[in-house]
A and B are shown apart, each in its own frame.
Chain A
Amino acid sequence: RKEVEQDPGPFNVPEGATVAFNCTYSNSASQSFFWYRQDCRKEPKLLMSVYSSGNEDGRFTAQLNRASQYISLLIRDSKLSDSATYLCVVNDWGSARQLTFGSGTQLTVLP
Chain B
Amino acid sequence: GAVVSQHPSRVICKSGTSVKIECRSLDFQATTMFWYRQFPKQSLMLMATSNEGSKATYEQGVEKDKFLINHASLTLSTLTVTSAHPEDSSFYICSALPVGTGTEAFFGQGTRLTVV
**Are A and B a genuine interacting pair, yes or no?**
no
